[in-house]
Structure 1
Amino acid sequence: MRLDIRHWEMLKAINESGTLRQAAYVLGITQSALSHRLAEAERRLGGLLFEREGRKLKETSAGRAMTQTANQIIPALQRAEFDFQQMADNKMTVVRFGVAAYSCYHWLPSFLNIMTKKEPGIKLELVASATQNPLQNLQDGTVDVVLAPGHLAVPGIDYIPVFQDELVLVTHLNHKLAAKSFIEATDLENQDYLTYSKSAQPGFEYERFIRPSGVVPHLVTVVEVTDAIIELIAAGFGVSILSRWAVHSAIKNESVAVIQVGKDGLDLGWSALVRESEPPQSAARTLSNQLAEWF
C-alpha cells in the first residue's frame, strides 16, 4: 500500500469538510500540516486527488474513487475498534441489525427481552440506514443482519426464512374502499397512492398487482418513511399497499383500515439476511435463527 491510514483519514475529512482549514480542525492538526500530508499522498500516488475551486477543494475523477473508498474503510475500522472494546470490556458480541423497506419496530422490545435471556453474550445495535440500502449496507459491513421482506437472489447473501406476511391496502377508516372484502387493481385508478420507494421493488405490489393490470393510480407520491405514510393515510391523504405486519400498530390502534389485495391476496415472506461468509456459529447467524424461532 502506498498510503498510510492517516492519508485515508485525511481523504474522508476533506471530502466531508470541503476545505483544508475545516478538515485540519476535524483531524486536530494545523492546516499547514494537512497541506503537507495531502502533497505527500499525491506524490506517493503520482497524481492529483483534489483541485482547488477558490477556498474549496474539488475531487478529481481519480480522487473521487479514493474518497469513496475512504468513506467506507474508515468507519469500518472505527466499528471494528469499538466492537473489540465492547467485547474486551463486557465479553459481548455486537451485532448490527436493520429492517429493510419498512421502518417498523413495534416488535423489537419483546424480542430483545427474549434475546437477553437466551443469548446474553449478544448485544443488538440498531442501524436505521439499513431501511433504504439493506444489501449494500450488508455487503460493506455497516450492518450484520437485515430483516427483509420479499426475496432477491444475490450472490454472497444468505436468506434465512423468518415468517409469512401479506401485502394489504391501507386506507383511512372511512374510505369507500374500506368496506370491500378485497380490492381489484381498477380500484386504484382514481386514488392518490403513497409509496415508500422511487423504484418498483421485485416481488411487491407494483410487479405482481398494479403493472399486470395496466392500471395507473391518479397520483403517485413518494414518502420514504413508512410511519409518515401511515400518518398521512390516517389523516385522509391517500392510500398505500404495505406489509400487514409493518402496519400492525396502526391496525391495533384502529387508526387505519386494511383490505385484502386481490381475490387470492398477495403473500409476502420475510427473511433474515446475512453475509454468506458468516460462520455457522457466528453471532449474526445465531441472531437470525433466534428471529425465526421467535416469530
Structure 2
Amino acid sequence: MDVLERSHLKIIQEVAREGSLTAAGARLNLTQPALSHAIRKIETRLGVKIWRRQGRSLVLTQAGIWLLALANRLLPQFELAESRLEQFANGERGTLRIGMECHPCYQWLLKIVSPYLDRWPKVDVDVRQKFQFGGIGALFSNEIDILVTPDPLYKPELNFTPVFDYELVLVVGPGHPLRAQTYVVPEQLAGEILITYPVPSERLDIYTQFLQPAGIAPRQQKQIETTDIMLVMVAHGRGVAALPGWLVEEYAARFDLYPVKLGKNGIMKQIFLGCRETDEEIQYLQNFIEFAASPFLTQSRTETP
C-alpha cells in the first residue's frame, strides 16, 4: 500500500459532499475526466476499493466511509494549521470563527461584531451554523473557535462563559385568546400550532422545560428557518412561538406581537460562549468573550435597532 496523502482525503470528502463528479471537480478545479482518473489512481495506490458504482452514482465502500470520517477529522486541522502559520508569517491576528447554536442570537451577534471589528482591525469574523458533528464536535475538531449556545455541554478542555440572561416567552398574535393571559400552562398549548426553528424537539426548551414534563404535545409543529417569517406567521394567527423576550421587544415595532410568560415563574435562560481551553490565551478571542459580556451590550441588546 502506498502513502495516504492529504489530497486523497480532500477528493474523498468533496465527492461525498457534492454527490457528483462534475460538482466535486468544480470545487477541486478539476475536469470530470481528470477527477475520474484521480479516483482510479487513489484506489490503485492505496490497494483498496473506496467507491462502487450504483447506477450513475458513486457510493462509498466500507473503507471509503472510514476514510471519509478520517478526512472530516483531519482536514480542518490542516486548514487551521496553515491559517495560523500564514497569520504568523504575515503578522496578522487571525480569523475568529463563530459557531451558532442559537438561531435568534444573530441580531444580538450583529451588535457585537461591528464594534468588535473596529477594535480589532486585523481580525476577521466568520459565522457558521451547520456542523457535521454538532457544535461541541465543531469546537473539538477546530471547525470553529467560539460556540454561541444556550445549552453548554461541559467537557474537559472546553470552557463556557455566560454572557447574558433572558426569559423565554410565548409569542402570540393580536387576535389570539392567550394574549390577555398573565401566564400560560402547558395544557393551554395542547391545541396550538407551535412554530419553531428547524431544531430537534429535544433541543428546544419549550419542549424540554415546559411541555414534556407535563406530558403535553402541541397539536402541530411547524419548522421555519427565518425569524422574520416565523414572526409574520405568528402575527397573522397561524401559530404561536417560544422566543427570547428581548427578541420579541426588538421586533415589536415591525410586527403586532404579544409575549406571554411560560408558567407562573417563567423560563429563565442564559447565553454562553464556549471555547477550547488551549485558545484562551489568544487575546482577540478572549476579548470577544469579554466584550460580549460587557454591561453596555447587556443593556443595548433590548434596545430597538
Change (3 A) 1:245 1:31: same
- Aligned AA for 1:150? D
TM-score of the two chains, using structure 1 as the length reference: 0.84
CA contact (8 A) 2:231 2:255 kept: no
Change (3 A) 1:198 1:108: closer
Gaps of 5+ in 1: none
Partners of 1:260 and 1:2 lie apart in 2 by 61
Matched, 1:4 2:5: yes
Gaps of 5+ in 2: 299-305
The CA RMSD measured in Å over matched residues stands at 3.0
TM-score of the two chains, using structure 2 as the length reference: 0.81
Matches within 5 A, 1:43-58: 43-58=44-59
Matched, 1:200 2:187: no
Partners of 2:54 and 2:77 lie apart in 1 by 31
Size of the aligned set, in residue pairs, is: 293
Matches within 5 A, 1:196-275: 196=197, 197-201=199-203, 204-275=205-276
Query: Which position in structure 2 is the counterpart of 1:114?
Result: 115
Partners of 2:77 and 2:54 lie apart in 1 by 31
CA contact (8 A) 2:76 2:142 kept: no
Change (3 A) 1:122 1:78: same
Q: Secondary structure at the match of 2:143?
A: coil
Query: Which position in structure 1 is the counterpart of 2:151?
Result: 150
Q: After the TM superposition, which of the residue ranges 77-86 and 265-274 deviates more from structure 2?
A: 77-86
Partners of 1:117 and 1:226 lie apart in 2 by 27
Matches within 5 A, 1:61-140: 61-71=62-72, 73-74=74-75, 77-78=78-79, 81=82, 85=86, 91-129=92-130, 133-140=134-141
CA contact (8 A) 2:98 2:125 kept: yes
CA contact (8 A) 1:138 1:146 kept: yes
Query: Which position in structure 2 is the counterpart of 1:183?
Result: 184
Partners of 2:224 and 2:74 lie apart in 1 by 31
Partners of 2:149 and 2:23 lie apart in 1 by 39
Q: After the TM superposition, which of the residue ranges 227-236 and 244-253 deviates more from structure 2?
A: 244-253
- Aligned AA for 1:175? H
Identical columns (%): 27
CA contact (8 A) 2:102 2:148 kept: no
Change (3 A) 1:259 1:22: closer
CA contact (8 A) 2:235 2:255 kept: no
Partners of 2:151 and 2:19 lie apart in 1 by 40
CA contact (8 A) 1:24 1:34 kept: yes
CA-CA distance at 1:179 after TM superposition: 0.9
CA contact (8 A) 1:195 1:223 kept: yes
Change (3 A) 1:22 1:182: closer
